[in-house]
Amino acid sequence: MVAVALIGDPVAHSISPAIHRAAFEAAGLDWNYQLVRVPDGELGQAWPGLAGRFVGLNVTTPHKRTAALLADQLSPTARLCASVNTITFGPRGGFGDSTDGAGFLAALRRRAGALPGVAVMVGTGGAARAVAAALAGEGVEVRVVGRNRQAGAQLGRELGAVGPGTVAFLGTEVAALESSLAGAGLLVNATPLGGLDALGLSPLPEGVGLDPSVVVFDLIYRPRRTRLLCRAVAQGCVVVEGVDMLVEQGALSFEAWTGINGPIEVMRQAAALALESQP
């Protein structure tokens, strides 16, 4: 049986197997999707074995940037954001791509319509880089704040000239987040705050105001409604759930591996069922 896998740490609670297995079945493919935990710092050692076992990979935290270094070839998008979430193995080795940005834009447009002129990004990791690059490529001004000053400064330097939009790192302080929201039409959470390991936390402190005109997009999908999204709904904001992006980027990964358009509605239904069945 042909197999693909999700690599990362942790991966045990991922719903990606349910999504992709449903897609493979709908497409009439005798393929399987597995979860492979690879601890931080061990991807280089595991890489040859993964290439021998699988025709493709999805890559999640903490390996997106390392996978970009290990891939034999990179798409222009992956090269730009120095982040990979999809690997396709072939005769010429591993081809790395990032479907995060395109999946994010597709989910945002589907749920919220037109793109904003100004977006605030909280977070500086691999997914944040991909999303920031995608937004800037569409002409959006992206204001980045995050706890990791070094990663934020590097992100600003490397993506600052992407164009036609802009990417700038504004700082780590709550004051930087509050000031960055002035005139913004989109707030994106690309941190783990609000996920299963940090349920009681939010990237937006209670003292920071949230205008009802701001669209709020949380990349976390477990739980579907994070503390941030619940607050945004209460404020009258349009919200986009992380599962929307997960499905959209997953459909693009499916296409990269199989050459077939991902059955998006089948994948969306499988994602909803998988989340309902999990505690």
Q: What is the pLDDT of residue 56?
A: 98
Strand order in the sheet with 186-189: 166-171, 141-145, 118-122, 186-189, 215-218, 239-240
Give the C-alpha separation, 99 to 9, whole Å.
Answer: 19
Please state, in angstroms and rounded to a whole number, the distance separating the CA atoms of residues 169 and 122. 10
Give the model's confidence band at 34: pLDDT under 50 very low, under 70 low, under 90 confident, else very high: very high
247-259 pLDDT, tens per residue? 999 999 999 999 9
Instruction: Check if the beta carbon of residue 104 is closer than 8 Å to that of residue 134.
Output: yes
Domain residues for the domain of 19 are 2-98+246-277
Q: What are the distances in angstroms from CA 260 to CA 53, 58, 74, 151, 270?
A: 21, 17, 21, 36, 18
Based on the domain organization, do 117 and 187 belong to the same domain?
A: yes
Active site residue 247: no
Q: Does 251 lie in the same domain as 233?
A: no
Could you give the percent of the chain with pLDDT greater than 70? 100
pLDDT higher than threshold 80 for residue 236? yes
> Please, which residues have CB within 8 angstroms of residue 135's CB and are 6 or more apart in sequence?
101, 105, 115, 119, 121, 142, 165
Judged against a pLDDT cut of 80, whether residue 49 lies above it is answered with: yes
What's the CATH code of the domain at 25?
A: 3.40.50.10860
Q: Are residues 112 and 88 in the same domain?
A: no
pTM: 0.94
Return the closest-CA partner of residue 61 out of 220, 258, 274, 217: 220
Per the structure, the count of domains in the chain is: 2
CATH number of the domain encompassing residue 215 = 3.40.50.720
Residue 120 has, within 13 A of its CA and on its CB side, a CA count of: 26
Q: Which of 133, 20, 140 lies closest to 68 in space, CA to CA?
A: 133
Q: For position 248, what pLDDT does the model report?
A: 98
Q: Is the pLDDT of residue 279 over 70?
A: no
Beta bridge partners of 93: 90
What is the tens place of the pLDDT at every residue in 92-129? 999 999 999 999 999 999 999 999 999 999 999 988 99
Same domain, 219 and 144: yes
Q: Are residues 175 and 134 in the same domain?
A: yes
Q: Do 90 and 107 belong together in one domain?
A: no
DSSP 19-45: HHHHHHHHTT--EEEEEEE--TT-HHH
Residue type, 132: A
Domain identity same for 88 and 168: no
Domain identity same for 261 and 207: no
Same domain, 34 and 107: no
pLDDT digits (tens, 9 = 90+) for 154-183: 999 999 878 899 999 999 999 999 999 999
In which band, very low, low, confident or very high, does the pLDDT at 277 lie, cut at 50, 70 and 90?
Answer: confident
pLDDT in tens, 211-223: 999 999 999 999 9
The residue annotated as part of the active site, out of 20, 63, 64, 222, is 64
pLDDT averaged over every residue in the chain: 95
Task: Note the pLDDT tens digit of each residue in 198-208.
Answer: 778 899 998 89
Residues 124 and 194 placed together within one structural domain of the fold: yes
